Amino acid sequence: MSNELTWKGYAVHDTAKWEDFKLIDIKPKPRGEYDVDIKIEYCGVCGSDVHTITGGWGPPHLPVIVGHEIAGTAAWVGPKVTGIKVGDRVGVGAQICSCLECKMCKTNNEQYCQKHVTFTYNSVYPESGTITTGGYSSAIRSHERFVFPIPDALELEHAAPMLCGGVTVYSPLVRNGAGPGKRVGVVGIGGLGHFAIQFAKGLGCEEVVAFSHSSRKKEDAIKLGATQFVETGKKGFEEALHASLDLIICTANVAPGIAMSELLSTLAPGGKFVMVAIPEEQVPIPSRDLVVRGISFGGSLLGSKKEALEMLQLAAAKGIKPWIEIMPMKDCGKAVRAVKDGNVRYRHVLKQDIPR
């Protein structure tokens, strides 16, 4: 992988034809002293990919190559890289660079960088102006800060979805005290939710309550580790849980489907409701419920490298792994359609098939 080598990736050229991926050449940004080139073996398919290629979050830089749940092997390391060597099993999540100098970056909060967050795809490197390209491709180049060594106990195809989907829920769990004696609710049993249940259980929470709009996923939720399943489509679902939960992680991706007042009523005074998904519609917030019961409503973006490494070690120690379906990378159009339609149990993972 010389600096001049052209990589390849599957790109969308038109948001109106978001299932139509074409294989194109990629010219990566110039190498930096702290960069790592990664030969991609697997890439998870995230809901963010769908929001981007459909234009749901705004017009993307076209053509766009998505994918930010990446696992593979280090193929080249810059002269100032430490802790990673050629041949190591590594991964990259949804962020690929930041300023590394601001208060947030220096306190393990680099996903909240105050100067610039460079996302893994559809973002712009401030130094070169290069548009970032994601993991539906043969290789990727990242600053070492955002490259995560993968424990030997984890298969690459299982580690890949953890690097966005996993850490996105792990971070708010640990930052809000999830652990022994805590009662945690998880809203939405999809790609993110199925991780949240497993990590809440792995962290030792006393109760893990799974909320879903129908009973269709009840059996899965219990197998994942939920101690209780609640069907939010039933009137009065919240009554038995009134003021009992310490924390709710909301992974629901469709704002109209969130029974906000009812869910907030299940939180104990001082409880926290944390959004990790970003619906395309605005989520109504019943401010009276927050004020009179001392409830906090907030959000959480991705996770830090420190948290990602902790998460991977927890997964390795506890045998936590996503429920996945592996597809050849050329079938990425079918994979994003399945995510769009909600027909995934619970993460699609694309296996490399681009000739090298």
Is the distance from CB of 99 to CB of 116 less than 8 angstroms? yes
Angle at the Cα of 212 from the Cα atoms of 198 and 207, rounded to 5 degrees:
45
Confidence of residue 258 (pLDDT cuts 50, 70, 90): confident
Q: Given the DSSP bridges, would you call strands 35-44 and 139-143 parallel, antiparallel or unpaired?
A: antiparallel
Is residue 209 within 8 Å of residue 184, measured between CB atoms?
yes
Q: Which residues, 6 or more positions from 171, have their beta carbon under 8 angstroms from its beta carbon?
A: 300, 302, 303, 304, 307
pLDDT value of position 1: 45
Other beta carbons within 10 angstroms of residue 296's beta carbon come to 13
Distances (CA, A) of 267 to 131, 192, 238, 255, 289: 42, 21, 10, 19, 10
Query: Cα(354)–Cα(139) distance, rounded to whole angstroms?
Result: 10
The answer for residues whose C-beta is within 8 angstroms of residue 145's C-beta and 6 or more apart is 34, 97, 98, 100, 110, 305
> Angle at the Cα of 76 (from 74 to 77), degrees rounded to 5?
95
At 72-124, the pLDDT tens digits run 999 999 999 999 999 999 999 999 999 999 999 999 999 999 999 999 999 99
| Residue 161 confidence (pLDDT) | 98
pTM above 0.75, yes or no: yes
According to DSSP, residue 129 is labeled -
Tokens at 136, concatenated = 């539906």
Q: Can you tell me the distance from the alpha carbon of 95 to that of 125, in angstroms, rounded to the nearest whole number?
A: 12
Instruction: Return the domain boundaries, the chain.
Output: 8-164+322-351, 166-299
- 250 DSSP β-pair partners: 187, 275
Confidence of residue 9 (pLDDT cuts 50, 70, 90): very high
Rounded average pLDDT over 178-182: 98
Please give the CATH superfamily to which domain 8-164+322-351 belongs.
Answer: Medium-chain alcohol dehydrogenases, catalytic domain (3.90.180.10)
Give me the pLDDT at residue 127, please: 84
* Cα radius of gyration rounded to whole Å, the chain: 20
Q: What are phi and psi of 353, to 5 degrees?
A: -140, 10
Percent of the chain with pLDDT over 90: 88
Pick the CATH number of 166-299 from 3.10.180.10, 3.20.20.210, 3.20.20.100, 3.40.50.720: 3.40.50.720
What DSSP string describes 207-236?
EEEEEESSGGGHHHHHHHT-SEEEETTSTT
Task: State the sign of the Cα–Cα–Cα–Cα dihedral 186, 188, 189, 191.
Answer: negative
